[in-house]
Structure 1
Amino acid sequence: MTFASLSPGMLTLDALKTHHHALLAQVGLAPLRSALLFFSLYVLVSALSIPGAALLTLLAGALFSLRDAALLVSFASTLGATLAMLASRYLLRDWIQQRFARQMKTVNSGIERDGARYLFALRLMPLFPFFLVNLLMGLTRMTVLRYWWVSQLAMLPATLVFLNAGRELGKLSSLRDIVSPGMLFAFTLLGLLPLVTRWLFSRSPPSVKK
């Protein structure tokens, strides 16, 4: 089993556990080539909205050091998300507007009111799936650069949680072993923090000049 033969259709927890040792041996023999192949696969999965990004994050934690895995996953996921956003903006605009009209209205309202803070919140909260955020953000006026850095920053906490869990890949039976309801609640609070802070400041009475 090699990275070159690890197709998106094989991204299941059982398959990764089965081929873990073979992939680990490949990383030991050719670390740079393995990292490049893994990075390419992750970008492909993210850009095409193929299910399996969370499993690939677990795999990175099992195969690479925490530092290397964090760099690979953080930049690959952000690049893939940005490519999906650009495809939405320039290739799929009409289809997305028709297919997700209700969600688009919500996102447009949030972006108009809170700007980049709203994207930060969406990336952390489980309300909107990863692929849907990518597609809907492509139809907003947010710049590519801002979309990139906000997405990368907001996705980092969950990335680190999954990478750490991946170090015990053989003991996992499902993704529910990683993301508990309490953790989802914590991510939601973290995502809401900038929005709540902005709201509180907007409600503060103006200072009185003496």
Structure 2
Amino acid sequence: MALIALLLVFAISMGWHKYLSLDVLTQQSAHLRLLVETKPWLVIGCYVAIYILATTIALPGAIWITIAGGFLFGPMLGPFLGPIVATALASTSATIGATMLFFATRSALGDGLRAQAGGFIDRLEKGFQENAFGYLLTLRLLPVAPFFGINLAAGFLGIQLRTFILATAIGILPGCYVYASLGNGIEHLLEQGQKPDLKIIYSPEILIPLLGLATLALLPSIWRFVQSRLKPS
């Protein structure tokens, strides 16, 4: 955790987070597109490495890396395949980075802070473990909590690694696809004098299906709650 914190401080002090912006993406668009055409595998490797690092250290503005994926790979692979490939790269990279932060949190903070927190954490962990996959999947699907915050909380509560990876990989797919598709259409938006709306995921046509998926993920917990209420006292 100390190393991750130092890397974050170093990255911010060097101004790396300032490169994760619309202005830099558009200013460097010609150069980046040329790299994609001439050295596609190098670009993919750098893209994945940067995404993993940004996710691991919780670098602000990492959402622009997802958008950049659609921007870079859309023209090369087409409007249909481009966002799909960008989504796959982004979700895989984000899951790896999240898992690294999850490991660091669990190893560094788990035992000491949990012992000090006492019964409250024990009760919280017990309730979460009843449907850890459903709860975590819901938090990944809905834009209600910071991505890095969920990683920290999951490590603190001792969620199983398999559950964490599976819920994360599945849960972030819709959001990754939305922002990769947004990146794929950035040039069209700029030509019309518009800027990409980063709050697009809160629009009803996207948020309502996500709420439906989240409800399905929580059905086991909802059913247990209903059964507990129906039991005679």
What range is the shorter-chain TM-score in? 0.7 to 0.9
Say yes or no: does 1:150 pair with 2:167: yes
The answer to whether structure 1 residue 175 and structure 2 residue 197 are counterparts is yes
Partner of residue 89, structure 1: 106
User: For residues 104 and 40 of structure 2, what CA distance do their matches in structure 1 show?
Assistant: 32
2:217 to 188, 194, 201: 194
Give 1:156 shift.
0.5
Equivalent residues in 2 for 1:14-53 (5 A)? 14-53=23-62
Give the alignment of 1:22-171 within 5 angstroms: 22-64=31-73, 65-93=82-110, 108=125, 110-170=127-187, 171=189
Backbone CA RMSD of aligned residues: 3.0
CA distance in 1, matches of 2:149, 2:202: 22
* 8 Å Cα contact 2:70/2:184 also seen in 1: yes
Q: Structure 1 residues 130-139 or 171-180, which shifts more?
A: 171-180
TM-score by length of 1: 0.80
Deviations 1:120-154 (A, max 9, x none): 01111222111100001001232212211111011
* Maintained 8 Å contact 1:89/1:139: yes
Q: CA deviation at 1:187?
A: 2.1
Residue by residue, what CA displacement relative to the aligned partner does 1:89-138 show, whole Å, maximum 9, x if unpaired? Answer: 112448987xx99xx78963651332211100111122211110000100
The alignment covers a number of residue pairs equal to: 197
Structure 2, unaligned runs of 5 or more: 1-14, 74-81, 228-233
Partners in 2 of 1:143 and 1:47 — Cα distance?
19
Mean CA deviation greater in 174-183 or 45-54: 174-183
Matching residue's letter, 1:26: L
